[in-house]
Structure 1
Amino acid sequence: MSGYKRKQQGITLFGLIVWLAILGGIGVMGAKVVPTAVEFFSIKKAIASVRTAGGTVQEIQTAFDRQAEVGYIDAIQGKDLEITKDGNDIQISFAYQKKIPMVGPVSLLIDYAGTTAK
């Protein structure tokens, strides 16, 4: 062997624990946030569906409530929708907040909003 030392490569146990903690935290946050995002997209799909069905404001709200029941939507109800009519054109909007508890007193607050307007 010549007089040179080969530098070791790799990760220390402490470094591994830190990385696993960071990845674990991201995983837990993702597991709590993903269901709310899925619910948001279900709401958007539901309002697009009831918009094409048309009808009165009450009929649209009732149709949304039926879709919400089938689609496991708990965040809003038909009465929470903002429905505007301009002649035969119907626009439906919604907005709500979702508070997700994380650890102890720490929570994540997400504002969701959507509309059928182009």
Structure 2
Amino acid sequence: MKRNQDGITLIGFVITLAVVGFAAYIGMKLFPMYQEYYSLKMAAKGLAEEPGSASMDPSRLQDLLFRRLDINYSDSIKPADVTFKRIDTGWNMHVQYEVRRPMVGNLDVVGRFELSQDITRGGGGEG
């Protein structure tokens, strides 16, 4: 009785390794973009929960936001990406920005991010 071994061949292993490596490479390009967006969300939430933030001037709110972002080394968000709109109980902060990172050769990874945060007297809620 002859027994055959089943398993992966060397070519199959190399192909699998290439696919996993490419997926890891893309993940390394995307992770910092989403980490920065998460930092923005936490900074906006912290700003909304800060006492007296609903009665502050938009320029002061923007300054406080960017101070929080500087702590997290966020450099993709620019002051022109942040707008404030007056609402009944305070302000609505809207942030819209784009991140472009080179991937391979002339191919880029582009991420478009948008966040809206209400800064109100009763505490902030995402809008």
**TM-score, scaled to structure 1:** 0.87
1:15 match: 12
Structure 2, gaps ≥5 residues long: 118-125
Task: Give the number of aligned pairs.
Answer: 115
Q: In the alignment, is residue 44 of structure 1 matched against residue 58 of structure 2? A: no
1:90 match: 91
Structure 1, gaps ≥5 residues long: none
How far apart are 1:77 and its partner, in Å?
A: 3.1
CA RMSD for the aligned pairs? 1.6
Q: In the alignment, is residue 115 of structure 1 matched against residue 112 of structure 2? A: no
8 Å CA contact 2:29–2:101 kept in 1: the answer is yes
Deviations for 1:80-110, whole angstroms, at most 9, x for unmatched residues? 2121121223211111111121111122111
8 Å CA contact 2:43–2:69 kept in 1: the answer is yes
8 Å CA contact 1:94–1:113 kept in 2: the answer is yes
Q: State the percentage of identical aligned residues.
A: 25
Question: What is the SS of the residue equivalent to 2:85?
Answer: strand
8 Å CA contact 1:96–1:113 kept in 2: the answer is yes
Aligned residue among 28, 31, 41 for 1:31: 28
| Cα distance in structure 1, aligned partners of 2:46 and 2:104 | 37
| Cα distance in structure 1, aligned partners of 2:73 and 2:84 | 22
**TM-score, scaled to structure 2:** 0.81
Q: In the alignment, is residue 99 of structure 1 matched against residue 100 of structure 2? A: yes
Which is higher, the Rg of structure 1 or of structure 2? Answer: 1
Letter in 2 for 1:58: S
